[in-house]
Amino acid sequence: MVEKIKLAQGAGGQMMDKLIKDKILKYFTKTSVSAEIPLSMLDDSAVIDDIVFSTDSHTVQPIIFPGGDLGSLAVAGTVNDISVMGAKPIALSAGFIIEEGLSSETFETIVKSMSKVASDADVPIVTGDTKVVEKGAIQEFMINTSGIGKRTSLLEKNIKEVKQYRSFKQRWLLDSNLEKGDKIILSGNIGEHGIALMSYREGYGFETEIKSDVAPINRLMEKILSVGGVVSAKDPTRGGLANTVNEFSEKSKIGIVLDEEVVPIPKGVRSACDLLGIDPLEIGNEGKVVIGVVKEKANDVLAEIKKHPLGKNAAIIGKATDKIKGVVLKTTVGGKRNLRKPIGDPVPRIC
Ligand code: MG
């Protein structure tokens, strides 16, 4: 029988991991060996000649949703993947694929929204491409954004601060940089983006209280770096917090203990998840960051994040430890469970 690509293989979990490793990396890795941070590291961006480079295609349905739209998502997505490397995003591209029949008004709404988010983030869109395909060839409208970023003195300052407390050889904030004792900080509420979309799509009614958190986090990252002591950062998008901390743990080869009680989950997200039987830790977010920071700087970094409008509900949610393997969640009822990477995504087509 002919093997066919399944939806879950693009959902950001274990199945997508396998698709990338089995069918993509073996062909592309050789061409990227000269990169300082090559494709094979599967981090949020690559780095070559000190240029941070990332790309992201956005296929969200519906294209306008509570709290955002395809345009805001496409800009924030790439800005965030560059920012979490510790770099300053400096320019974006926008590639449009439009289904014939899309209303011109909707198209313009989304382009305007891209423009607004890009100017709020202060990252210009400097190049692009527009294609229109026959009705049915795609659903409505898809946008690819790529972006480049560069090193700044803020990243140097941050790394200098790390070196006050432990040896550190890396030049970027990588998923693989955690060591035992590092604290894990989450910048705010989780689950809002995925639940807002799912609820709006399926008509569950939660959308009246839950809006997508989509937002560029580059300015928040600047604040974080200015305090210093940060070793890793990642935006918990597809696969949610569960996927992010497992990436940290796998790539850093260190255990991570999370305290479920302190993970900020809004009431509406919690009740939607209970109703639908899904885990809020596996739901995608689009305006959050999870960072690893040396323990001596954790409280200072947390205080700085809390001052930022995107970081009011930030919390120290766990730490890296060599006493366990993988990720262990201390549950609210006093138990412990292994927190694994989701297999697929409980909420598809959200980014
Ligand atoms: Mg990312």
Residue 316 and residue 172 share a domain: yes
User: Tokens 């979990």 sit at which residue?
Assistant: 13
Residue 222 and residue 329 share a domain: yes
CB under 8 Å to 167, separation ≥6 — which residues? none
**Within-domain flag for 349:** no
**Within-domain flag for 86:** yes
**Within-domain flag for 31:** no
Q: Report which residue type is found at 191.
A: G
CB under 8 Å to 202, separation ≥6 — which residues? none
CA 78–ligand 1 middle distance (angstroms)? 8
Task: Kindly state the average pLDDT of the residues 12-16.
Answer: 82
Flag whether pLDDT at 290 surpasses 90.
yes
Task: Kindly state the average pLDDT of the residues 301-307.
Answer: 98
State the total domains in the chain.
Answer: 2
Flag whether pLDDT at 322 surpasses 80.
yes
Say if CB 128 and CB 71 are below 8 A apart. Answer: no
Residue 105 and residue 249 share a domain: no
Q: Between β-strands 255-259 and 327-330, what pairing exists: parallel, antiparallel or unpaired?
A: parallel
CA 81–ligand 1 middle distance (angstroms)? 5
**Within-domain flag for 26:** no
Q: What is the DSSP string of 238-305?
A: TTHHHHHHHHHHHHHT-EEEEEGGGS---HHHHHHHHHHT--GGGS--SS--EEEE-GGGHHHHHHHH
Residue 302 and residue 162 share a domain: yes
User: Tokens 């959200």 sit at which residue?
Assistant: 350
In angstroms, the CA 195 to CA 205 distance is 11
CA 54–ligand 1 middle distance (angstroms)? 9
- pLDDT tens across 176-209, in order? 999 999 999 999 999 999 999 998 988 887 767 8
| Residue where one domain finishes, among candidates 106, 125, 151 | 151
CA 333–ligand 1 middle distance (angstroms)? 31
CA 83–ligand 1 middle distance (angstroms)? 9
Residue 53 and residue 144 share a domain: yes
CA 325–ligand 1 middle distance (angstroms)? 23
Residue 167 and residue 137 share a domain: no
CB under 8 Å to 118, separation ≥6 — which residues? 75, 92, 124, 125
Side by side, which strands form the sheet with 141-150?
46-48, 51-58, 141-150, 88-99, 125-133
Residue 115 and residue 212 share a domain: no
CA 146–ligand 1 middle distance (angstroms)? 13
CA 99–ligand 1 middle distance (angstroms)? 27
Token pair of 41 as six digits: 């590291």
Query: For residue 183, what pLDDT is reported?
Result: 98
CA 41–ligand 1 middle distance (angstroms)? 13
What confidence category does residue 319 fall into, taking pLDDT thresholds of 50, 70 and 90? very high
**Within-domain flag for 70:** yes
Query: For residue 207, what pLDDT is reported?
Result: 67
Residue 115 and residue 162 share a domain: no
Q: Which domain holds residue 175?
A: 154-338
Token pair of 42 as six digits: 């599967």
Residue 69 and residue 200 share a domain: no
Residue 84 and residue 121 share a domain: yes
| Residue where one domain finishes, among candidates 151, 178, 208 | 151
In angstroms, the CA 151 to CA 217 distance is 16
Residue 97 and residue 235 share a domain: no
In angstroms, the CA 181 to CA 251 distance is 16
- Respond yes or no on whether the N-terminal peptide bond of residue 38 is cis (omega within 30° of 0): no
CA 101–ligand 1 middle distance (angstroms)? 32
CA 174–ligand 1 middle distance (angstroms)? 11
CA 284–ligand 1 middle distance (angstroms)? 11
Task: Kindly state the average pLDDT of the residues 73-88.
Answer: 98
**Within-domain flag for 22:** no
Residue 181 and residue 129 share a domain: no
Paired strand residues for 68:
65
**Within-domain flag for 225:** yes
At 39, phi and psi to the nearest 5? -55, -40
In angstroms, the CA 95 to CA 142 distance is 8
| Residue where one domain finishes, among candidates 107, 130, 151 | 151
Of 143, 157, 154, 176, the residue nearest 75 (C-alpha): 143
User: Could you give the angle at the alpha carbon of 93 between the alpha carbons of 90 and 95, nearest 5°?
Assistant: 165
CATH of the domain at 134: 3.30.1330.10
CATH of the domain at 212: 3.90.650.10
User: Could you give the angle at the alpha carbon of 277 between the alpha carbons of 274 and 281, nearest 5°?
Assistant: 80
Flag whether pLDDT at 346 surpasses 80.
no
- pLDDT tens across 143-182, in order? 999 999 999 999 999 999 999 999 999 999 999 999 999 9
% of the chain surpassing 90 pLDDT: 86
Residue 116 three-state SS: helix
Flag whether pLDDT at 215 surpasses 80.
yes
% of the chain surpassing 70 pLDDT: 100
Query: For residue 168, what pLDDT is reported?
Result: 98
- pLDDT tens across 36-52, in order? 999 999 999 999 999 99
Tell me the pLDDT of the chain averaged across its residues.
95
In angstroms, the CA 59 to CA 221 distance is 26
Give the predicted TM-score (pTM) of the model.
0.96
**Within-domain flag for 62:** yes
In angstroms, the CA 346 to CA 278 distance is 7
